[in-house]
Chains A and B, each alone.
Chain A
Amino acid sequence: MEAARTIDGFAETDEKQCAQTGEERLQELYEATSRPLWAYLFHVLGRADAADDVVQETYCRFLERKTPVMDRAATKSYLFRIATNLVRDRFRSGTGKSENRLAQMARIDDSSHLELPARESGSDVEARLDVMAAMGQMKPRERELLWLAYVEGMSHAEIAAATGLGTMSIRLLLFRARRKAAQLLRPERTNV
């Protein structure tokens, strides 16, 4: 069947997809992509509730757009791009700065102040504290670059597409971010 657009922005490519409602297709996409997206936003923004908001906003924007037919990887990359723009808007408007607890985490050692789930073991909390503290001392753009490169495994071109930076500058910015992160992370807790 020829590709046709539906009102919710999803393109129909075959009979199976035609039979699915927009909500079912969103559910499928959401289950495949929302957790990595949330983790990315949580580590860049520093707050679970802010990450929840941006995740929801990202999918709403995605549905509003008349997106062309894309494979799963391209769709995921597109979602990260929308989310990165939303994060940037948040920091630009000052919301991100005031709500960012990463910087706060970097200065304190008392985990009772932190928004960490209770089910984590002591060593897990310590390891996560280290990561969050290190991230807190980095700029939002550095956090984005490190996450996209080392957790999502994106290439420089993909990172450039997601962040709006030039492909050539990614290499240098990533190099600086990596050097800074390596100094900030305590090796004995990161099992290297």
Chain B
Amino acid sequence: MNRTDLNRAGCAHESELVKAERAGAWTPELLAHAENCLACAQTLQIARALQQSAQRSHLLHRMPSAGQVWFKAQRRAREAAIRRATRSMRVMQFLGVLYALALAVWGARSLVAGELNTLTPALKSAGGGFAVLSSLCALACMALGLLIFLGDRPRKQGLGR
């Protein structure tokens, strides 16, 4: 291929060229080819410029240490565990409040209906029905809480997301 042969396909020797430049292991044939192929000449020009820039930035920048990264990862893992645990607790708290509110509404309704006087005996006499209702509510809350808790495990996410 000569310098006029630059087309969309580029040149088959480009990857060889980059490897040779990275390793500093040039063969005379490859060097001769690079001088005559426009695609390879461009590849070489860019590869050299970028690799030199990479080397300079390697030498001059102070990276964050591995210890810092480890510490950050550990802290994040702890925070995530706490978040998961407290989320389940918050859901249970919310359900508890909901249950109390339902109870309050039921009590208020009894008051409005003028059954205040009969409320205490009613609680005693209709205790069976109320207890069954309460138990069902409590069970539903527990099942819901357990479902949310079990579903709150770390989910698989896309890379970097």
Contacts and interface: CB of A to CB of B under 8 A. Distances in A.
A191 B73 contact: no
B53 A132 contact: yes
B58 interface: yes
Nearest to B10: A175
- Chain B interface size range: 35 or more
A11 interface: no
A190 to B, nearest CB: 4
Contacts of A81: 159-160
Given A55-B64, A147-B50, A150-B50, A83 B77 contact: no
Interface residues of A, number: 64
Contacts of B54: 36, 39, 43, 151
B67 interface: yes
Contact of B56 (A120, A171, A174): A120
B63 A34 contact: yes
A131 B72 CA distance: 33
Interface string A164-192: 00000001101100110110010100111
A43 B43 CA distance: 18
Contacts of B70: 22-23, 26-27
A174 B8 CA distance: 10
If over half of A's interface residues share one DSSP class (helix, strand or loop), that class is named, otherwise mixed; here it is: helix
Main secondary structure of the interface of B (DSSP, over half): helix
A31 B47 contact: no
Contact of A187 (B45, B50, B57): B45
Interface in A143-172: 146-147, 149-151, 153, 155, 171-172
Contacts of A83: 160
Interface stretch (B14-22, B95-103, B117-125): B14-22
Nearest to A65: B159
A185 B46 contact: yes
B44 interface: yes
A110 B107 CA distance: 78
A43 B56 contact: no
A63 B77 CA distance: 9
9 contacts: A35-B58, A36-B58, A39-B53, A43-B50, A81-B160, A88-B160, A155-B15, A171-B10, A174-B10
Interface of B: 8-10, 15, 18-19, 22, 39, 41-54, 56-58, 60-61, 63-64, 66-70, 72-73, 76-77, 158-161
Given A131-B50, A151-B54, 14 more contacts: A8-B73, A22-B70, A27-B66, A27-B70, A34-B63, A36-B54, A39-B53, A56-B72, A58-B160, A59-B73, A82-B159, A120-B60, A128-B56, A175-B8
